[in-house]
Structures are given as C-alpha cells and as structure tokens.
C-alpha cells in the first residue's frame, strides 16, 4: 500500500476504492469473465475509437488517440502526448464543445479532457449506433456552418494581452501610453496564428493600447473589425504610477498603509464584485455577438482571474501569485445557449513567456515586471 498515492508514486482514484462490497463485486466479476468477454470489449473499443477519430479527422480537427488495451483517451492536439505536461498543452476548449454536443444527443462521455474512456460488455450494437449518430459532423465549426447538435454552442476566449514595454517597472494600471514590447508583439502574433483556423466571428478589446495591439493581429487574421469595450479595462488601483514589486519597499511606506486595510474588497482598488459585474456583461455581449461561433475578448490579468473565479464559484479574494493567467493566455468560456457550461485554459505562447512571469512562478527581485497586466 505504500506504493499508492499519496504516499507512493502509483496514482489511484475511485469513489469505492477499497470498499469491501465493491472489492467483492469486482472479484466476482473477474472470476466470471472469459476470453469471449474480453474479445468483445476489445472489439467494441476499437470500433468506437475508429468512429471518434474518423469524425474528427474528417473535419480536420487535430487530435491524438492514446490507448492502453481497451481503454483510450482523446487529446485535442497534433503533438504526441507522453505525460501530463503534454496533455495540458491540448486545446481543452475543443473537448468542452465536443462533450456537450454528445451529451445533448444522449451520449455521456468522461467529463474531462484528461480522463480515459471505458467500454464494457454492455455496449452492444444499439449503443454503438447511438454513439455514431451523436458524433457531430462538424466538431470544428467553420464560419457560416452550424453543425448538427452544436449550433447553440458559443465559445468566448478571454485573452490576457502580451508583454508590455515597462523598463521602469511601474504599476501602470489604466494609464495610457503603455504599449507592447517586441516580445509582446510576438506573443500576439503567436496567438493569432494559434486561432487562425478557429470559427472567430467577433474580436473585442479593452480600450488600453496594450490590449488593442494584442487583439489587432487576431482581428486581421479573420478579416474582422476590432471593437472596443470599456468593461474589459484593467482594474483601477490607487498604486498606479508607483513601483510595487519584490524588495522595493513600497509596502513599508506608512503613507501606503491606509490603502491596505481590507484585502477582501480590496481597499486599494476597484471592488472585486464590480469587476465581476462588468466582465460578465462584456462576456455576455461577446457571446451574443458571436452566437453559435467564437469570440475573442482581450483584457487584463486581474479582471480575467476574478470573473473566472466567480464562474467557477471560488472566493474572489486571493493570492496574486496563484493566478492562472499567464501573458497571452486564453481563458475560454463555453456557452450552451446563454449558460456557461465549462471553462478552459491554454497558453499558446507559453514558450515566449519569461519563466518568472509564468503562472505560479515566484517573483524574483531584479527581474522585469509586468505590472498592471
């Protein structure tokens, strides 16, 4: 038992793991199974795998099918998946739309892009026919084509802008005049390339220069006019224009203490609740503008993280170092009709992001900052 997680390296999970009744039932089943049963399960698995990968390949959807005997997983990526880090690089928002399309037609897939598909002797010809009928003919919808079962699916990608030229390391917040750095422009181009074959019909950005510059290549790639929405703007902050990083002593100044009395609101800037209200409004507007297709909204780290926390029912106050919202990242909200049914996250420009600015990285004194991002 010492080899099993959390003590050991072997992962195990299951609601009834170790339950005496479940264990007895499992042993009884193993004793009853014969070669014919295993042959049937293997054949069923191979047939379902062929149906799924055939439907995705027909529409040009990049994916990888990973198998272990009659278990298999579908990863939405063109790259080989060998470990968890590889799996995290997939475009999980594709799975979200795929899952809900299948569910709407009565087929309940594993509810995560990281889980395995299991088949059993209960999957007979009727079940296979049901799966085949539910597979959407257009898992990747192109502009002007609805796709059976997916016409009411809308995806809104909430994107954080690229790196900003900020040699003085100030908290620039809503201040004008802060543009993308050369690296930031590369990040914007990378995401535009990443989204080139997506069904993007609406692109909108915060009015601040860095957001507009990040959104421009995406809009251009899809032949769209770039819209602006004030609701996507950075959160207001009383420390704008000041340096506020590791080791610079800003928190030690008595003049700043009056602004640090309430981290739950927070007392130093725009209330979290107000950020939720305006960001949800911006998301809904983008969803309506791109209904049945996809939209891109370019905004800033804090309001993106706050609205995601609200949707995922987490508390709004948090440790800024824990935000999963790296430069040029995509937080993707999948709607069925007017309801958000899933949230995905991806980092198309991860290889361009300096290591100390990746999500979860510890601040390093002396490194360039992306304040107000």
Q: Quick: pLDDT tens for 294-330.
A: 999 999 999 999 999 999 889 998 888 888 899 999 9
d(CA 13, CA 5) in angstroms, rounded, equals: 9
Dump pLDDT digits (tens) for 79-90.
888 888 888 888
In the numeric block, which tokens belong to residue 365? 């004194």
Q: Are 27 and 108 in contact (CB under 8 A)?
A: no
Structural contact between residues 78 and 315, judged by C-beta atoms closer than 8 angstroms: no
Residue 218 has pLDDT above 90, yes or no: yes
Could you tell me the domains of the chain?
A: 33-134 (3.90.1150.10), 153-357 (3.40.50.1240)
From the number of C-beta atoms within 10 Å of its C-beta (0-12, 13-18, 19+), residue 54 rates as exposed
- Asked whether 248 and 269 are in contact (CB, 8 A), the reply is no
Res 352: pLDDT:
93
| Span 331-360, average pLDDT | 84
Backbone angles phi, psi at 210, to 5 degrees: -65, -35
pLDDT tens, residue by residue, 34-58: 999 998 998 899 889 888 887 887 7
Confidence of residue 200 (pLDDT cuts 50, 70, 90): very high
**Residue partners of 271: CB distance under 8 A and separation at least 6:** 265
Q: What is the DSSP letter of 32?
A: H
Per-residue pLDDT at 141 exceeds 50: no
The overall average pLDDT reported for the chain is 84
């Amino acid at each position: 038992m010492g080899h099993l997680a959390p003590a050991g390296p072997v992962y195990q999970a299951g609601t009834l793991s170790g339950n005496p009744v479940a264990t007895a039932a499992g042993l009884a089943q193993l004793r009853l199974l014969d070669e014919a049963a295993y042959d049937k399960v293997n054949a069923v698995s191979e047939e379902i795998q062929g149906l799924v990968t055939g439907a995705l390949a027909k529409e040009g959807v990049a994916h990888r099918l990973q198998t272990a005997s009659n278990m298999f997983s579908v990863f939405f990526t063109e790259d080989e998946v060998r470990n968890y880090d590889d799996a995290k690089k997939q475009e999980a928002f594709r799975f979200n739309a795929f899952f809900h399309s299948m569910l709407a037609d009565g087929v309940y897939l594993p509810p995560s892009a990281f889980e395995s598909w299991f088949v059993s002797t209960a999957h007979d010809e009727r079940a296979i026919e049901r799966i085949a009928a539910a597979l959407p003919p257009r898992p990747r919808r192109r502009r002007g084509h609805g796709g059976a079962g997916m016409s009411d699916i809308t995806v809104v990608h909430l994107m954080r802008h690229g790196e900003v030229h900020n040699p003085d390391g100030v908290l620039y917040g809503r201040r004008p005049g802060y543009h993308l750095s050369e690296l930031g422009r590369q990040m914007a181009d990378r995401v535009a390339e990443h989204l080139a074959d997506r069904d993007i019909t609406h692109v909108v950005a915060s009015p601040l220069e860095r957001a507009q510059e990040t959104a421009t290549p995406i809009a251009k790639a899809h032949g769209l006019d770039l819209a602006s929405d004030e609701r996507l703007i950075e959160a207001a902050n009383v420390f704008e224009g000041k340096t506020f990083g590791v080791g610079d002593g800003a928190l030690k100044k008595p003049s700043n203490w009056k602004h640090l009395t309430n981290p739950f609101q927070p007392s130093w800037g725009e209330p979290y609740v107000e950020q939720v209200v305006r960001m949800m409004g911006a998301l809904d507007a983008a969803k309506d503008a791109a209904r049945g297709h996809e939209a891109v909204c370019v905004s800033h780290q804090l309001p993106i993280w706050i609205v995601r926390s609200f949707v995922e029912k987490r508390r709004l106050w948090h440790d800024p170092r824990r935000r999963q919202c790296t430069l040029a990242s995509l937080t993707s909200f999948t709607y069925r009709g007017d309801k958000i049914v899933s949230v995905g996250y991806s980092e198309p420009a991860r290889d361009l992001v300096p290591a100390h600015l990746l999500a979860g990285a510890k601040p390093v004194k002396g490194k360039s900052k992306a304040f107000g991002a």
